[in-house]
């Protein structure tokens, strides 16, 4: 089972969190997709498109990270296989100016191969635990939401911003 924690972060919070982590931990950001068989390094955890922004990146150690790429032939791109790769997924936090959807940081500590459990490297597991520990110290924990939030998201919510716990197309959102 993977390890994760939920977050409510405005785009500025996501950028600030990554800057804080880079100050504390040797890491870089990757895109989850690539035009070729090598992962692509990116500068910011935030992507903007169609009137909203969201967190969409992978956190990886600067050294000794095992990255497995899969070719998605029908759509002509390569994808980081997050189950078998030593990465932390940082995703969600869709923000359209009116609502902020919950996001998460997530990683798998291992996987099954040939019906046997295989842990990811000890280096990666120690590194990932350190990332989670530093991120949680940097953010504010809200037990009632079972999530952590950034300083800007907290101010935005205090001024009337709406946190969305879950949104399913065609259904009303579940407000946090």
Span 47-77, pLDDT tens digits: 998 989 999 999 999 887 888 888 888 888 8
CA distances from 121 to 58, 71, 87, 127 (A): 17, 24, 11, 10
pLDDT for 83 beyond 80:
yes
* Pairing outcome for strands 77-80 and 99-101: unpaired
CA distance 133 to 123: 15
Name the residue among 27, 89, 81 with its Cα closest to residue 56: 89
Q: What is the pTM of this model?
A: 0.91
Predicted local distance difference test score (pLDDT) of residue 92: 94
Which pLDDT score is estimated for 48?
Answer: 94
Instruction: Give the residue-averaged pLDDT of 122-147.
Output: 96
Please report the sign of the dihedral spanned by the C-alpha atoms of residue 37, residue 81, residue 125, residue 30: positive
Q: Would you state the pLDDT for residue 77?
A: 83
Beta-bridge partner residues of 112:
117
Tens-digit pLDDT profile for residues 30-48: 998 888 888 899 999 999 9
pLDDT of residue 45: 97
């Amino acid at each position: 089972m993977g390890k994760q924690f939920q977050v409510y972060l405005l785009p500025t919070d996501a950028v600030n969190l990554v800057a804080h982590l880079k100050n504390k931990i040797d890491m870089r950001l990757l895109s989850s997709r690539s035009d070729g068989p090598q992962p692509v390094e990116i500068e910011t955890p935030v992507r903007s498109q169609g009137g909203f922004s969201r967190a969409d990146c992978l956190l990886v150690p600067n050294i000794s990270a095992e990255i497995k790429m899969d070719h998605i032939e029908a759509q002509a791109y390569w994808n980081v296989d997050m189950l078998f790769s030593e990465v932390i997924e940082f995703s969600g936090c869709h923000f359209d100016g009116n609502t902020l959807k919950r996001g998460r940081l997530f990683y798998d500590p291992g996987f099954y191969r040939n019906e046997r459990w295989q842990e990811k490297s000890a280096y990666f597991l120690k590194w990932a635990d350190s990332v989670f520990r530093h991120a949680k110290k940097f953010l504010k924990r809200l037990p009632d939401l079972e999530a952590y939030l950034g300083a800007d998201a907290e101010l935005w919510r205090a001024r009337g911003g709406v946190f969305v716990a879950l949104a399913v197309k065609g259904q009303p959102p579940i407000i946090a």
